Amino acid sequence: MASLVLWTVLLLTGLRTDWLAVLHMDRPVLADRLAERYWDDFARQAVFVDEAAVTHPVNTLLRRLCRANGMDRGKIKLHVVQDDEVNAFAFPGDHLVVYTGLLSFCHGEGELCGVLAHELAHIERGHVARTFVKEVFLSAFTSLLSGYTGVGEAGEVAGMLSSTAYDRAWESEADRLAVDYLGHAGLSAVPFSDFLFRLDEKEDFPAYAEWLSTHPDSDKRARQVRRMAQERNIPSHSRRVLPRGEWEGMQQAVSALQEDGEEQ
């Protein structure tokens, strides 16, 4: 029992400590050096999709958001990865990873734009490097206790920077900025809100335990996004960004990839 209590205290302390500030280390430099190792490991295991029918629509939506918000699209390294998990995450070094499971889950380009805007916010506000270092600390601490010294599976690496890795304040900030980014691009935030509502139905996480989580539950986030959009007078409808039929073509291509994966 004493060991369990000690482990818990050390774990919580580690998660809440800004170790780079304590050690007077340069966050971007350290994060980039650590990220190289983890990214190489992830890239060796991930199945990257280079099919234009899939990557082009995602790139078009990302370009629209970057251009409207004064961001350098050229610095963002977009990767579409074949994986059924509903996930997208930003990685140090300006990598932005989108899983095909997310593309299948989205009910339209507006929902995907909301997710992309949210991840861009994490990049722009510097959340990625800070969260990455924190998660590496947690992984190293766990490995020390278990005796395991490997980097981990691709899914574990991805989990380091998925939405659940960020604390509540950063998730809320990313949602707020995502609403602003969408508004500047002439896009509605309602689809992003709808996405979060549906994600809440998918999540197997008891509402009463939300305060134990590192991020707000999706239902609450959805309501906050809709409220912020109303406060900013962002229209509830937006014009289509992709040419007619391109979104449907992407969904069909993703479905074909998933079927091929199941057969293999």
How far is the C-alpha of 252 from the C-alpha of 248, rounded, in Å? Answer: 6
Residue 138: per-residue pLDDT: 53
Query: Model confidence at 260, in pLDDT bands (50, 70, 90)?
Result: confident
How far is the C-alpha of 262 from the C-alpha of 247, rounded, in Å? Answer: 23
Instruction: For residues 75-95, give the mean pLDDT.
Output: 91
How far is the C-alpha of 261 from the C-alpha of 116, rounded, in Å? Answer: 25
State which residues form the domain around 202. Answer: 15-242
Is residue 97 in a domain?
yes
Is residue 58 in a domain?
yes
Place of tokens 């409808």: 237
Is residue 259 in a domain?
no
pTM: 0.78
Which strands, in side-by-side order, build the sheet including 77-81? 77-81, 95-99, 88-91
Is residue 182 in a domain?
yes
Is residue 72 in a domain?
yes
CB 206, CB 73: distance < 8 Å: no
Is residue 198 in a domain?
yes
Is residue 116 in a domain?
yes
pLDDT tens digits along 11-54: 445 545 555 555 444 555 655 666 777 788 889 899 999 999 99
Is residue 258 in a domain?
no
Torsion angle defined by CA atoms of residues 61, 64, 70 and 74, in that order, rounded to the nearest 10 degrees: 60
Residue 239: per-residue pLDDT: 85
Q: Which residue has the higher pLDDT, 32 or 207?
A: 32
Domain count, the chain: 1
